[in-house]
Amino acid sequence: MLIKIILSSLSILGLAFSITKTYKKHHTPYFFILLIIKILFGLFSGWMYFVYYETGDVLLVHKNALSASNTFFSSAQDYVQYLFSDSGQINTNLSYSGEARTVLFVKIISVLYLFSFQNFWLAGVLISTLSFCITIRFAYHIQQRYSIYLWAILISFMLIPSIGLWSSGIMKESITLPALLLIAILLQKKPTILRYVLAIILLYIVFVIKYYFMIPFVLLLIIDFLIRKYGFSLKSISLFTLLFLVSIALHPNLHLDKIYNAILSSYQPLISHSSSNSISFSHLSEGWWWMILYLPKAWYYGFLSPMPWDVYSTLSSLQSVQSLILSIIYIHTIYIIIKEKISFNIMAIVLLIYSFSMAGLLCYATPNIGSLSRYSVIYLPFVIMLCLNIILKHHESNKIS
């Protein structure tokens, strides 16, 4: 019990230090209100699984992480062996033992349990708070780097309900999204050995848990680096093409000749268990060209689902309100672009290509409105950020004139 108290006290001190340092460096308006909202999102996501769903991988992760962390107090040696190898004695007692990404996620949560009295809710608060501090730092970082309105970033990454919900608490996305945002900060700042080591560790974690999140996001960072260093030139295009070919070789599902089959192997088992929240692409298995023909439908679900006519549960009806608001934001942004004849810079275009590509591919691979809402945290904030930035800039220019 004494060890639990000591470890949990250390985590509380660490959180207090992180919050204080972030607040002093980035005195964001409504800082603590945003922090409370983030924590509430994490608690609500836990409530959904414990009370509303009463089942799901989050609860299985909790069960396995609790079992693993218990081992630490009986045999620290066995626990350390479990963390750093696949031959730990407690491996065989855990679910998902053959699924590398879930095994790693359980290991991470089990470590967090050591610093939170092995309590699901406290661990969720710990993750949400760390995610909040990283997101605040990321917001200021890209505000300065790209001259984007701070509130366009904060709203997009923190206050959009589905994004805030699925990137808080004990979720794979609440680990991977902040990790990617922190990687972006580390790789775009002045290089140091410590920053590179931390970036490599985080890249490994995200690659194992969500490789289809990590690789496109890192390619986005590479494009940013090449354009800043060489401009939009033949050299930057050539280097990016080379790095792109290297990156897709990192995972067999990303090989150019296997992407279509990899998507089908994910799509078909999910669609076979058809339900009210399934997204059907009935001819997808007839040839890769159907992926192109179905893109408008995939984008609709990727950016706007569920609309009121797609509602399948109480929670989805609440999310449909968000979808209606987002549709207004999109339409208003398009109106401003046409009216003001706004032209996009290279990075905005790259962000849009990235977001539309991810929306389409994830919709094919995960033809489920609920799951897609969860996975959209990797691309949706960027589109909303661009839209809000255009709207805020337009409003500001009208005030001046």
Whether residue 265 is found in the same domain as residue 185: no
Last residue of a domain, one of 189, 220, 241: 189
- Is 227 part of any domain? no
Half-sphere exposure of 253 (CA within 13 A, CB side): 12
Whether residue 305 is found in the same domain as residue 163: no
> Digits of tens for pLDDT over the chain (401 positions)?
777 788 888 888 988 899 999 898 887 778 999 999 999 999 999 898 888 776 778 888 898 899 888 888 888 888 888 888 765 555 545 555 557 888 899 999 999 999 998 899 999 999 999 999 999 999 999 998 888 999 999 999 999 999 999 999 999 999 999 999 999 999 888 878 888 899 999 999 999 998 888 888 888 888 887 877 777 666 777 777 776 666 666 656 565 556 777 777 777 777 766 666 788 888 887 777 888 888 999 999 999 988 888 888 888 888 899 999 999 999 999 999 998 888 778 888 888 989 998 999 899 888 888 888 889 999 999 999 999 999 998 888 777 65
Whether residue 33 is found in the same domain as residue 151: yes
Whether residue 98 is found in the same domain as residue 11: yes
- Is 343 part of any domain? yes
State the total domains in the chain.
2
- The C-alpha atoms of residue 75 and residue 236 are separated, in whole angstroms, by 53
- Is 151 part of any domain? yes
Domain of 292 in residue numbering reads as 257-400
Looking at residue 97, its pLDDT comes to 53
Last residue of a domain, one of 166, 189, 212: 189
CB 76 within 8 A of CB 114: no
Whether residue 185 is found in the same domain as residue 268: no
Q: Report CA-CA distances (Å) from 41 to 15, 20, 117, 279, 313.
A: 18, 21, 21, 27, 19
Whether residue 62 is found in the same domain as residue 184: yes
Last residue of a domain, one of 189, 211, 235: 189
Whether residue 177 is found in the same domain as residue 275: no
Looking at residue 251, its pLDDT comes to 59
- Is 246 part of any domain? no
- Is 241 part of any domain? no
- Is 234 part of any domain? no
- Is 222 part of any domain? no
Q: Is the pTM of this model over 0.75?
A: yes
Looking at residue 105, its pLDDT comes to 92
- Is 239 part of any domain? no
Looking at residue 76, its pLDDT comes to 84
Whether residue 271 is found in the same domain as residue 181: no
Whether residue 156 is found in the same domain as residue 16: yes
N-term to C-term CA, the chain = 65
Whether residue 309 is found in the same domain as residue 394: yes
Whether residue 170 is found in the same domain as residue 303: no
Whether residue 38 is found in the same domain as residue 177: yes
